[in-house]
């Protein structure tokens, strides 16, 4: 599974990251925070959270973060502990 990381600049395309790369980063630390682009489907991010909760026995906190007044000004925030 591949997901798009949040954009660092509005005129750039989001970078892709695989589930395996996320799992490697989480395994190295006690917890990680990831920000994902709004172009990801909500269903895909729910699958990602379920993977870490069920397969890797991690606690996952998932929410939508708004950063502006426009309806499309948001990113997804995922804490994996």
Q: Is this structure's pTM higher than 0.85?
A: yes
pLDDT exceeds cutoff 90 at 10: no
pLDDT of residue 68: 86
What is the domain range of residue 60? Answer: 2-80
* 79 vs 68 pLDDT, higher one: 79
pLDDT exceeds cutoff 90 at 9: no
> Strand, helix or coil at 46?
helix
Percent of the chain with pLDDT over 70: 100
The overall longest dimension of the chain from CA atoms, in Å, is 37
Q: Return the residue matching tokens 């606690």.
A: 59
pLDDT of residue 46: 95
Q: How many domains does the chain have?
A: 1
């Amino acid at each position: 599974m591949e997901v798009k990381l949040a954009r660092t600049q509005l005129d750039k395309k989001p970078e892709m990251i695989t589930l395996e790369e996320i799992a490697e980063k989480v395994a190295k630390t006690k917890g990680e925070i990831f920000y994902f682009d709004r172009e990801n489907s909500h269903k895909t991010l729910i699958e990602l959270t379920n993977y870490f909760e069920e397969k890797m026995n991690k606690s996952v906190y998932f929410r939508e973060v708004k950063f502006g007044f426009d309806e499309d000004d948001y990113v997804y925030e995922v804490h994996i502990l």
